[in-house]
Each structure stands twice: as structure tokens, then as C-alpha cells.
Amino acid sequence: MLQGKTLVITGASSGIGAATAALATSYGAQVIAVDINRPAQAAGEFIQADLSDRASIDQLIGRLPSSIDGLANIAGLPPTRPAADVIKVNLLGLKHLTTQLVPKLSDGASIVNLASLAGLGWPQSKQAIEASETLAPQDVEAFCKLHGIDGARSYFFSKEALIVWTMQNRWTWRERGIRMNAVSPGPVDTPILKDFLQTLGARAEQDMRTMDRPGQPSDIAPVVCFMLSDRSAWIRGTNIPTDGGMFADVQLQMNGFH
């Protein structure tokens, strides 16, 4: 499905990123794995980078080949980390990497952003999302204070803004056939699952009761790989819930159905 494609996959040292890198490799892709942490065993070539630091991202861009067929933005920080750090990595770093990489993307390339069901409340965050569109790294602390973004809210906001940014860029590079989509997992059994349970408490327990089990990275990786493949070429600006049915449950409850 990905035979002969060159893919950049961030967050590739663990969890969903590692599972996606391994599966893409098995499908025939040449994977360039990116993470701040060096994996015990990387799928394909590994490049270390800090996505909270624009200089590190720019160095990464300089090391990447001139023809890339897909980018999977999977790296992210959990809600237990400082709010400014979460915004810098999950939103600003992701956007900077993506926009700087576009000149190296092949025509027909696919960009896949790992969002989250935590971002489904984006319609209620219009003012803050619009304010974040021109946000510079040095202004993140003040931005978070102004918009009440602290604790778990930092993670939720980062995913809300990411979903909106994905939809906004559905046709940005249409003349080159470059598309952007998002995949939104529910709770997934990765090294940061405990961070979500610790942060969200009773809310997380209620959400978990609606599912038969937490997701596994192996549940998410095939969806990301499909979205990186040519078989998804006419899907643009879409956010795909991959959550064991949780999104359907939330939507029904929000609209008074049972």
C-alpha cells in the first residue's frame, strides 16, 4: 500500500508513532523516524529533533531528502506537562514543521495530523483558536494566561486548534495534489494513557465505561497508513474518529439521543 514511498513520522519512538512507523515499513515505505527520544530500535532512519524548538525543527528540515511522499504528525505531549510546552509541541511545532516541509513534499503527498477526541469541542473555542493562528513561541505563556489555558485544557485546546487548522488547509496545496487530514483516537493504551487518567479523573473513568477496551497503537496505525496512501487521495480536510465508538456515543448524548 505504501510501496516505494518516503514518509516522515514524528513521535516514532513509542506508542502510536512507533506502531505507525513499523506498519508503514512493512507496507514497503522508507520511513524517516523523528523523535526527541532515541528509540531502542527504529523503523528506518532515525533523526532526533525537539519539536518545541524551531531551530531544532529547521535543522531537521535541512537533513530531510528533497522528495517526501507523506508526513505523519504524531508526536505530542500529554496534559500533565506544562501548558506552554504542550502548546509549543502539539500545535506550534507541528505547524512549523509541516509548513516548512511543504516545499520538499512530492506532488500528491499526504499530511496526516494525529488529533484526538479531546478536540471535539473546537466550535466553542473560536476566539482562542483564531488568536493562536499567528501565535509566536515567545508569546505562548501570555497567550495561555489570557485564554485560561492551563492543566488539561492545554491538551484539549491544542487538539481543537489542530482540527480546525486541518480543515482550513484542505485545499491549500490543491494545485500540487497535497492533502491534509486528521485522525482522532479515543483513549489509547500508550505510555501517556496514565497521564490522561491522572489529569481527567472522573471524566476519564466515565468515558472509559462507554468503551469495551482502551485502544491499542495497532488500532490507530492502519488508519494513519491508509491516509498516507494513494487510496485516500480524495479525502481532504477530514477528521476521522478512531475510538471504539466513543465519538458516536458523545454525539448522541450531546444531541439528546440514547
pLDDT in tens, 29-44: 999 999 999 988 878 8
Q: Note if 27 is an active site residue.
A: no
Evaluate whether 219 touches 190 at the Cβ level (below 8 Å): no
Whether residue 57 is contained in a domain is answered as: yes
- Judge whether residue 212 has pLDDT over 90: no
pTM of the complete model: 0.94
Whether residue 14 is contained in a domain is answered as: yes
Q: Which domain holds residue 146?
A: 6-254
Catalytic-labelled residue, pool 27, 122, 143, 155: 155
Residue 106 grid cell = 512530492
pLDDT in tens, 137-184: 999 999 999 999 999 999 999 999 999 999 999 999 999 999 999 999
Whether residue 142 is contained in a domain is answered as: yes
Residue 249 grid cell = 456515543
pLDDT in tens, 96-142: 999 999 999 999 999 999 999 999 999 999 999 999 999 999 999 99
pLDDT of residue 194: 72
Residue 33: which H helix or E strand, with range?
A: strand 30-35
Whether residue 63 is contained in a domain is answered as: yes
The tally of domains found in the chain comes to 1
Whether residue 1 is contained in a domain is answered as: no
Residues 6+ apart with CB under 8 A from 35: 10, 11, 12, 13, 14, 17, 46, 48, 49, 75
- Judge whether residue 213 has pLDDT over 90: no
CATH of the domain at 192: 3.40.50.720
Residue 100: which H helix or E strand, with range?
A: helix 94-101
pLDDT of residue 211: 76
Number of Cβ within a 10 Å radius of residue 205: 10
Whether residue 200 is contained in a domain is answered as: yes
Rounded to whole angstroms, the Cα distance separating 57 from 140 reads 18
